[in-house]
């Protein structure tokens, strides 16, 4: 999990992304702040879509560590100690997600930042969707061409 910053209406905002160890996209989230509440909202969204991970590799952001700790406390108190998320703050293990920011940053530089929040969300969702299709993350896509996958999602 990592966050990067992008420009919307001349203001820098944070773009949270999570990928698994194979580089497949887990989830993404756009937020104006980089604090514990924003990190917690992203983790809640990612956990709803993909389930509880065994490990989370993050940079040394205090907000991310605090958000993961607030997720681990209820697991500890309810007796699910073996299900707790192991938090790793190793800078170089986070390179998979750092490298996957390239497409987003390239799109941002191409359009010199976005003019609206809705435009940024739509573009970023499209970029992530294209990446997911290219990586074969769509369920039941083994027999479909890229265009068939796209049209099935658009329908």
Q: What is the CATH number of the domain that holds 64?
A: 3.30.420.10
pLDDT tens digit sequence for 94-139:
666 766 667 777 777 777 788 899 988 888 888 888 877 777 777 6
* Residue with the larger pLDDT of the pair 87 and 98: 87
Residues 6+ apart with CB under 8 A from 106: none
Q: For residues 8 and 119, what is the distance between their CA atoms, to the nearest angstrom?
A: 9
pTM: 0.77
Task: Specify if 145 maps to a domain.
Answer: no
Task: Specify if 81 maps to a domain.
Answer: yes
Structural domain including 50 reads 2-115
Task: Specify if 149 maps to a domain.
Answer: no
Determine the pLDDT at residue 93. 63
Q: Which residues of 52-74 are buried (b: 16+ CB within 10 A; e: fewer)?
A: ebeebbbbebebbbebbeebbee
Work out the burial of residue 19: count CB atoms within 10 Å of its CB; fewer than 13 is exposed, 13-18 middle, 19 or more buried: buried
Task: Specify if 85 maps to a domain.
Answer: yes
Domain tally for the chain? 1
């Amino acid at each position: 999990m990592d966050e990067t910053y992008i420009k919307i209406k001349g203001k820098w905002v944070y773009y949270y992304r999570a990928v698994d160890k194979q580089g497949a996209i887990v989830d993404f989230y756009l937020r104006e702040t980089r604090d514990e509440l924003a990190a917690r909202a992203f983790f809640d969204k990612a956990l709803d879509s993909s389930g509880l991970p065994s490990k989370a590799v993050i940079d040394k952001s205090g907000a991310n560590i605090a958000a993961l700790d607030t997720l681990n406390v209820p697991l500890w108190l309810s007796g699910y100690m073996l299900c707790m998320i192991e938090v790793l703050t190793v800078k170089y293990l986070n390179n998979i997600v750092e490298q996957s920011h390239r497409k987003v940053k390239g799109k941002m530089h191409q359009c010199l930042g976005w003019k609206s929040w809705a435009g940024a969300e739509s573009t970023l969702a499209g970029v992530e969707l294209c990446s997911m299709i290219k990586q074969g993350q769509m369920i039941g896509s083994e027999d479909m061409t890229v265009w068939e996958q796209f049209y099935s999602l658009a329908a």
